[in-house]
């Protein structure tokens, strides 16, 4: 007698991770801050030597505000969403920059993905609906990325539904 199963079961798993786009890499941030600091210091010193010493402090304040704004932007960039799809379960998890996460689970057979035009300017939003519940996701994606992801997830759902039978 063989220990091998008599039926071959096709299990298709898919995992998608959605991240917000950040156009400035950390190394670019360091270079930019060095250049801004250098320019602010030189211009501030010119004003300091002219006798307008309070201006020097305002140039330092500008550098600190720019640094703080970019740090907040990078913190917001830690937000992401994962979509995990198996033949039995579709899980959408939103992880906030603080680390807190919220999950939405549903049967993939009933799940529907829609990319809807929300506003007159053509902006879109992604919605996942299943069994009377609806959740918006992918808010940090561009409109084109939302459309592409809606197509990809719909294709994965169709493929997963086909593997169950």
The pLDDT tens digits of the residues spanning 1-34 come to 333 333 333 346 888 999 888 888 889 999 999 9
Q: Which of these ranges, 4-8, 38-42, 89-93, 129-133, has the smallest mean pLDDT? A: 4-8
Task: Give the per-residue pLDDT at 161.
Answer: 78
Mean per-residue pLDDT of the chain: 86
CA distance 132 to 44: 61
CA distance 73 to 25: 12
Task: Give the per-residue pLDDT at 4.
Answer: 35
**Closest of 92, 103, 99, 89 to residue 164, by C-alpha:** 89
Spans of all domains in the chain = 26-76, 80-163
- Contact by Cβ (8 Å): 113, 84: no
User: How many Å is the maximal CA-CA distance in the chain?
Assistant: 96
Mean pLDDT on 137-163:
88
- Contact by Cβ (8 Å): 113, 153: yes
């Amino acid at each position: 007698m063989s220990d091998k199963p008599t039926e071959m079961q096709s299990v298709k798993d898919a995992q998608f991770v959605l991240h917000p786009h950040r156009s400035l890499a950390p190394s670019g941030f360091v270079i930019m801050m060095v250049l801004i600091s250098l320019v602010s210091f030189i211009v501030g010193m010119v004003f300091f030597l002219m006798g307008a010493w309070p201006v020097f402090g305002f140039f330092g304040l500008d550098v600190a505000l720019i640094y703080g704004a970019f740090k907040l932007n990078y913190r917001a960039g830690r937000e992401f969403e994962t979509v995990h799809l198996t033949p039995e379960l579709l899980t959408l998890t939103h992880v906030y920059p603080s680390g807190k996460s919220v999950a939405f689970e549903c049967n993939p057979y009933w799940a529907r993905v829609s990319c809807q035009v929300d506003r007159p300017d053509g902006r879109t939003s992604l919605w996942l609906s299943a069994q009377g519940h609806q959740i918006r996701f992918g808010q940090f994606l561009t409109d084109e990325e939302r459309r592409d992801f809606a197509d990809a997830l719909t294709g994965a759902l169709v493929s997963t539904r086909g593997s169950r039978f």
